[in-house]
Amino acid sequence: MVPADWTEEKSEIASARTGDAMQAMAAFIAASDLRPGDRLPPERRLVDELSVGRSTIREVIRHWQALGVVESRQGSGTYLLRRITPETMHVPLAIEARRSGLLQMLEVRRGLEVEASALAASRCQAGALRIIEDRLDAMEAVHLEKGCAGPEDLAFHLSIYEACGNPLFGQLLSQMRESVSALFALSDLRVDFAARSFPFHRTLFNAIAIGNAEAARVETLKILAIVEEDIKDMLR
């Protein structure tokens, strides 16, 4: 059950010497049968169980933290975010999140979002389609009531990433959204990007529903074109 070599893929990035501690910890955690959201054993217990120094434990945890595998909360504990499996390879990306880079990030997002929509249209199942429509209905309802619908818009797009059948799109795009909103949190700017692009969300859904990948691509481009205008407008 415990993969003897799951850390070896990372040994190109991390030093192979720490592999022992990381491997032992991975084994211990895997043996504990933890699921995402569960709390890892306290650092001091791992020190006892694994007979290694606490700093080593902490460095391994930091490593996983950097990879988004675990999350630590002071006073509470360290929690598992993603299941550790032998087949998972972690690819770190470092991208510039400068404010002037908003348009650059949008271009990347356009490439990804268009592809995700097209894939969703070409392989979306009935169940996933229902979820998308539910999110769309919720978004439209909230939008008509409050005039904007930020979280619901996010939920709608996330359901499309889900429907495309490739988890990488969801991972990449939601990470990009997070960093963008982190940027906004720093510079107290506030724009509801979903406002003007609102009607195209329904047309995008229709394209996905009938399985028309090219139409899904075009509708996604329309949405992002409006986002681009809004960003340029805001930066002026």
Partner DNA sequence: ACCATGAATTGGTCAGACCAATTCGAGTGG
Partner DNA sequence: CCACTCGAATTGGTCTGACCAATTCATGGT
Query: Interface residues with a second copy (CB under 8 A)?
Result: 1, 9-10, 12-15, 17, 55, 58-59, 62-69, 71-74, 82, 84-85, 87-98, 101, 104-105, 107-108, 110-116, 119, 166-169, 171-172, 175-176, 179, 182-183, 186
- Give the interface size with DNA as a residue count (CB under 7 A): 29
Q: Which of 180, 12, 171 is nearest to 93 (CA)?
A: 171
Cβ within 8 Å of residue 71, ≥6 positions away? 65, 78, 79, 81
In the list DNA, a second copy, none, the entry touching 112 (Cβ below 5 to 8 angstroms by class) is: a second copy
What is the smallest separation between the CB atom of 4 and a second copy, expressed in angstroms? 15
Per CB under 7 A, the list member of 3, 9, 30, 47 interacting with DNA is: 47
What is the smallest separation between the CB atom of 74 and DNA, expressed in angstroms? 4
Residue by residue, DSSP assigns 5-49 as STTGGGGGTS-GGGHHHHHHHHHHHHHTT--TTPBPPPHHHHHHH
Decide if 77 contacts 120 (C-beta within 8 A). Answer: no
61 vs 164, beta carbon nearer DNA: 61
Residues 38, 44, 50, 55, CA torsion sign: positive
Cβ within 8 Å of residue 66, ≥6 positions away? 92
In the list DNA, a second copy, none, the entry touching 76 (Cβ below 5 to 8 angstroms by class) is: DNA
Q: Which stretch, 25-33, 50-58, 139-147, 190-198, contacts DNA (CB under 7 A)?
A: 50-58
